[in-house]
Amino acid sequence: MSPLRLPWEPSDDVDARLRTSLGKPATRELLTLLTRPETERAALIGRLRLHRNTVWLAELMADLEEDNVARRHVVEELRRVS
């Protein structure tokens, strides 16, 4: 696995970038996924890896599982914008 590289710099307007990139419904859905229990997140990652068009999301979620600080940061930002 490659180390997590967030698509923004700390000085960026993260909430605006998330809203623009994902839209509000997807932002809320991603927040829901990232705040599920660990076993549910692991099962979801496995299911996402089965589909070619969602492998990128599985890899992102797997990277966030390995880096709790980054995961908490993403969850905090998603909570702010949703």
pLDDT value of position 1: 46
The two structure tokens encoding residue 42: 């692991």
The model's pTM? 0.69
Alpha carbon distance 18, 38 (integer Å): 23
pLDDT value of position 5: 56
Per-residue pLDDT of the chain in tens (82 residues, 90 and over written 9): 445 555 555 545 656 666 677 778 888 888 999 999 999 999 999 999 999 988 888 888 899 999 998 899 889 888 887 7
The single-letter code of the amino acid at 28 is R
pLDDT value of position 66: 92
CA-based nearest residue to 81, from 11, 14, 9: 14
Alpha carbon distance 70, 77 (integer Å): 11
